[in-house]
C-alpha cells in the first residue's frame, strides 16, 4: 500500500489559511481601541490644560485685583502722591486709577491689569461709574454719632433724613447701638429679639460691619443695599426693583480723624502754656493774631458787633395778656436783649498798636507767671471781640482806654486768618478724634442731619464745593463754609462738633482682568485707613461672585 503526502496550500485555501485571516481583524480592533484610548487621553489632557490655563488666569486676575488694593492704599496714603498725581482728587481720576498694568512674570501668557472703580451717587439720585475711591467720611458714621450724643437723638435725626427711613426703623437702629437696654418709643431691645424663634441680644455697642444692621428689627437687604445686586449703579437683567444701593450709600461704621492740620502736623493747642504757645502761634498765625490770642487768655474780653462796638445786655420784664373764649389770662415774661452800644455812648477809646499789645502781654506774663484766666472753647470765641488793656499807673482819669480789636474783625484779612486759625489750632488735646462728617463729600441727605444745617445751607455747600481746591487749608478745615458759602460763624459754631473737611478712610473696588476682550474678571473691595502714610486695611471682601451679570466692563474706558 502506497502512502500519499498532502502538501500545505500556498494560496490561502484550506482550513489553516482561513484561520490566519482573524489576525488582521484582531490587529485592526486593537488599533481602533488604542486610537480611542489615545483620543480620550488627548481630550482629557486638553481639558486639563484648558482648566489649568483657566485656573492660572483666574489666579492671575485675582492677584491683579489684590495688587490694585495695595496700589490704591499706597497712592491714597502718600501725601506727595495725593497732591501731585491725584491733585487732591481721589474720587474721579482715570489718569491714576484706570487700566494699571501689573508687571508679569515670565510664565504669564497675557498681561494683567486692574482698575480702581467706584459707583458715585449724584445729587439727583442717579448713579455714575467712576475711576476712583469713595470717602467713608462723607457718610453718617453710626458709631461716631452715638459717641457724640449718647442719647441717640443725634443719630435718630440723621437717620430720618434718609430715603425710605421710618421712625420705627430709626428707633430700632438707635436701640441696637446705644448702651442701654431700654427701648425707645418705637424701637426694639433685647427683650424683643429674645422672643424670636432664633433668639439673640441687641448689640448695645458699636457695629463692626454694616451687615450687622440686618439683625435690626425692620431692616431688610433691599432697604440696606437696594435692588442693585451686583452694586454697579446700573439696572441689569435679573435685578428687581430700583438700581439704588440703599442705605449703604449713606451709612458707615468705618471712620478715623486725627487732629492734624493740612500739612499733617499736630495742631497747636489753644489752652496750653502761654509762654510756649506765643512763639508757636506766632510762627503759625503771625504776630497780630498770635498776640491777640494770648491777650484774650490773659485779659477780660468783650463781645462786639461786626464793627467792633461793644455789646450791652439788658433784661426787660413784660406783662402779657391773652384772650380766649373762656376768659383772659395774664403772665410775665423776661426778655434778654443784646445790642451794640452806639459809639457816641462809649467812653473814649484808643486803638492799641501791636507794640502796645505785645508790651501788655509781656508785662502781664512776667507778673503772673504766664497764666491765662480765660479758656477758649471754640476758635469762634475770638471772633467779634475786643480787649481793654490795663491802664498805665500814671494814666489820668480822662485818658481814653486802650483797646485791642480782634484781627478777625478786619474784612480784608479775615478770610485768610480764619482759614489759618481753623487749620492750625485746636481747643482739644486729643489727637485721635471722634470721626466727623466730611462736608466736602457728604451727600445732601447726610448734610441735612447735621445740627444747625438748613436746606439752603446744604444746597449752597453742594453747589459751591466743586470750586474749592481740595488741598487748601480752608477746604480741609471747613473754613470755606464761612468764607465762601457765607454760613454765619455763629451757625457754623453749632456745626463744628460734627463736621470736618478732611478725608482719611476710603472704600475702593479693584477690578482685575486680562488684556483683550475676554477672559475672567476678579473684583475685590477694601476699606483703607490711610493712617498718615502707613495704610492699613479695615475691611477686605471678595465681590467676584457678584459679577453675574458682570458689574464693570473692562473694555469700557473713560475715553
Domain for residue 280, yes or no?
yes
Burial class (CB in 10 A: 0-12, 13-18, 19+), 101: exposed
Torsion of CA 41, 43, 45, 46, to 10 degrees: 160
Find where cell 448734610 sits.
Answer: 447
Closest CA to 498 of 80, 19, 144: 144
Q: pTM value?
A: 0.84
Question: What is the per-residue burial (b if ≥16 Cβ within 10 Å, else e) of 348-360?
Answer: ebeebeeeebbeb
Closest CA to 385 of 453, 317, 473, 296: 296
Q: How far is Cα 520 from Cα 59, in angstroms, rounded to an integer?
A: 10
pLDDT score of 387? 94
Q: How far is Cα 349 from Cα 345, in angstroms, rounded to an integer?
A: 11
Q: Which helix (H) or strand (E) holds 317?
A: strand 311-324
Domain for residue 48, yes or no?
no
Report residue 324's pLDDT band, with 50, 70 and 90 as the boundaries. Answer: very low
DSSP letter at 496 equals T
Average pLDDT over residues 449-477: 94
pLDDT score of 309? 85
Q: How far is Cα 492 from Cα 502, in angstroms, rounded to an integer?
A: 16
**CA distances (Å), origin 95, targets 79, 488, 536, 539:** 18, 38, 24, 26
Report residue 108's pLDDT band, with 50, 70 and 90 as the boundaries. Answer: low
pLDDT score of 19? 57
Report residue 515's pLDDT band, with 50, 70 and 90 as the boundaries. Answer: confident
Q: What three-state secondary structure class fits 135?
A: strand
Distance, C-alpha 479 to centroid of its chain: 18
pLDDT score of 335? 45
- Cell numbers placing 285: 498765625
Q: How far is Cα 56 from Cα 105, in angstroms, rounded to an integer?
A: 12
Q: Is the pLDDT of residue 325 over 50?
A: no
**525 - beta bridge partners?**
509, 541
Average pLDDT over residues 90-113: 87
Domain for residue 474, yes or no?
no
Q: Is the pLDDT of residue 382 over 90?
A: yes
Domain for residue 299, yes or no?
yes
Tell how strand 301-303 and strand 385-388 pair up: antiparallel
Domain that holds residue 300: 270-319+334-410
Distance, C-alpha 280 to centroid of its chain: 31
Tell how strand 499-500 and strand 437-438 pair up: parallel
Report residue 106's pLDDT band, with 50, 70 and 90 as the boundaries. Answer: low
Q: What count of other Cβ atoms lies within 10 Å of the Cβ of residue 416?
A: 14
Average pLDDT over residues 480-507: 95
**402 - beta bridge partners?**
350
Q: How far is Cα 65 from Cα 154, in angstroms, rounded to an integer?
A: 39
Sequence-separated (6 or more) residues with CB below 8 Å from residue 239: 227, 228, 229, 230
Closest CA to 472 of 438, 502, 447: 502
Q: What does the pLDDT look like over 8-61, one tens digit per residue?
A: 444 544 444 555 677 888 888 889 999 898 888 888 888 887 777 788 888 999
Vertex 62 angle, CA 58 and 65, to 5°: 145
Q: What does the pLDDT look like over 122-151, one tens digit per residue?
A: 877 888 899 999 999 999 999 999 999 999
pLDDT score of 18? 56
Helix, strand, coil share (%) of the chain residues, nearest 5:
40, 20, 40
Domain for residue 207, yes or no?
no
Domain for residue 537, yes or no?
no
ω into residue 549 within 30 of 0, thus cis?
Answer: yes
- Cell numbers placing 232: 454697579
Report residue 107's pLDDT band, with 50, 70 and 90 as the boundaries. Answer: low
**Helices 287-298 and 414-424: crossing angle, nearest 10°?**
70
Question: What sign does the CA torsion over 190, 192, 197, 202 have?
Answer: negative
Domain for residue 315, yes or no?
yes
Domain for residue 368, yes or no?
yes
Q: How many domains does the chain have?
A: 1
Amino acid at each position: 500500500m502506497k502512502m500519499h503526502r498532502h502538501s500545505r496550500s500556498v494560496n490561502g485555501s484550506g482550513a489553516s489559511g482561513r484561520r490566519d485571516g482573524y489576525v488582521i481583524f484582531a490587529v485592526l480592533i486593537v488599533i481602533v481601541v488604542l486610537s480611542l484610548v489615545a483620543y480620550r487621553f488627548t481630550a482629557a489632557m486638553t481639558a486639563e490644560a484648558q482648566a489649568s490655563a483657566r485656573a492660572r488666569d483666574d489666579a492671575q486676575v485675582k492677584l491683579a485685583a489684590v495688587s490694585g488694593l495695595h496700589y490704591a492704599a499706597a497712592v491714597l496714603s502718600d501725601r506727595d502722591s495725593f497732591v501731585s498725581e491725584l491733585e487732591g482728587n481721589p474720587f474721579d481720576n482715570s489718569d491714576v486709577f484706570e487700566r494699571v498694568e501689573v508687571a508679569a512674570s515670565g510664565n504669564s501668557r497675557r498681561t494683567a491689569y486692574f482698575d480702581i472703580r467706584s459707583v458715585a451717587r449724584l445729587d439727583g439720585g442717579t448713579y455714575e461709574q467712576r475711576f476712583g475711591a469713595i470717602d467713608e467720611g462723607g457718610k453718617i458714621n453710626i458709631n461716631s454719632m452715638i459717641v457724640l450724643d449718647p442719647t441717640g437723638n443725634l443719630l435718630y435725626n440723621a437717620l430720618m433724613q434718609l430715603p425710605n427711613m421710618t421712625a420705627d426703623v430709626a428707633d430700632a437702629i438707635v436701640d441696637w447701638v446705644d448702651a442701654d437696654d431700654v427701648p425707645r418709643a418705637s424701637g426694639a431691645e433685647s427683650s424683643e429679639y429674645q422672643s424670636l424663634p432664633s433668639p439673640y441680644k441687641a448689640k448695645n455697642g458699636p457695629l463692626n460691619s454694616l451687615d450687622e444692621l440686618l439683625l435690626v428689627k425692620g431692616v431688610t437687604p433691599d432697604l440696606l443695599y437696594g435692588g442693585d445686586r451686583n452694586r454697579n449703579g446700573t439696572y441689569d437683567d435679573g435685578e428687581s426693583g430700583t438700581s439704588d444701593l440703599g442705605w449703604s450709600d449713606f451709612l458707615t461704621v468705618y471712620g478715623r480723624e486725627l487732629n492734624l492740620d493740612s500739612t499733617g502736623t499736630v495742631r497747636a493747642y489753644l489752652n496750653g502754656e502761654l509762654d510756649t504757645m506765643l512763639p508757636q502761634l506766632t510762627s503759625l498765625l503771625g504776630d497780630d493774631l498770635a498776640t491777640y490770642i494770648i491777650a484774650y487768655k490773659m485779659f477780660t474780653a468783650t463781645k462786639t458787633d461786626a464793627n467792633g462796638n461793644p455789646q450791652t445786655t439788658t433784661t426787660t420784664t413784660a406783662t402779657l395778656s391773652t384772650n380766649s373764649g373762656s376768659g383772659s389770662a395774664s403772665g410775665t415774661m423776661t426778655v434778654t436783649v443784646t445790642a451794640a452800644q452806639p459809639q457816641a455812648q462809649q467812653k473814649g477809646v484808643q486803638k492799641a498798636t501791636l507794640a502796645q499789645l505785645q508790651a501788655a502781654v509781656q508785662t502781664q506774663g512776667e507778673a503772673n507767671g504766664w497764666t491765662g484766666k480765660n479758656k477758649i472753647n471754640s476758635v469762634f470765641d475770638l471772633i467779634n471781640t475786643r480787649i481793654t488793656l490795663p491802664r498805665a499807673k500814671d494814666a489820668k482819669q480822662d485818658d481814653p482806654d486802650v483797646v485791642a480789636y480782634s484781627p478777625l474783625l478786619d474784612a480784608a484779612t479775615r478770610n485768610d486768618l480764619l482759614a489759618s486759625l481753623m487749620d492750625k489750632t485746636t481747643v482739644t488735646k486729643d489727637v485721635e478724634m471722634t470721626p466727623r462728617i466730611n462736608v466736602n463729600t457728604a451727600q445732601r441727605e447726610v448734610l441735612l442731619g447735621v445740627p444747625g444745617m438748613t436746606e439752603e445751607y446744604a444746597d449752597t455747600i453742594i453747589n459751591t464745593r466743586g470750586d474749592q481746591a481740595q488741598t487748601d487749608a480752608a477746604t480741609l478745615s471747613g473754613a470755606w463754609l464761612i468764607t465762601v458759602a457765607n454760613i454765619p460763624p455763629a451757625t457754623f459754631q453749632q456745626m463744628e462738633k460734627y463736621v470736618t473737611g478732611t478725608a482719611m478712610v476710603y472704600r475702593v473696588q479693584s477690578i482685575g482682568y486680562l488684556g483683550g476682550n475676554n477672559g475672567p474678571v476678579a473684583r475685590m473691595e477694601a476699606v483703607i485707613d490711610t493712617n498718615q502714610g502707613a495704610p492699613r486695611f479695615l475691611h477686605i471682601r471678595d465681590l467676584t461672585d457678584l459679577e453675574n451679570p458682570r458689574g464693570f466692563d473692562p473694555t469700557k474706558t473713560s475715553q
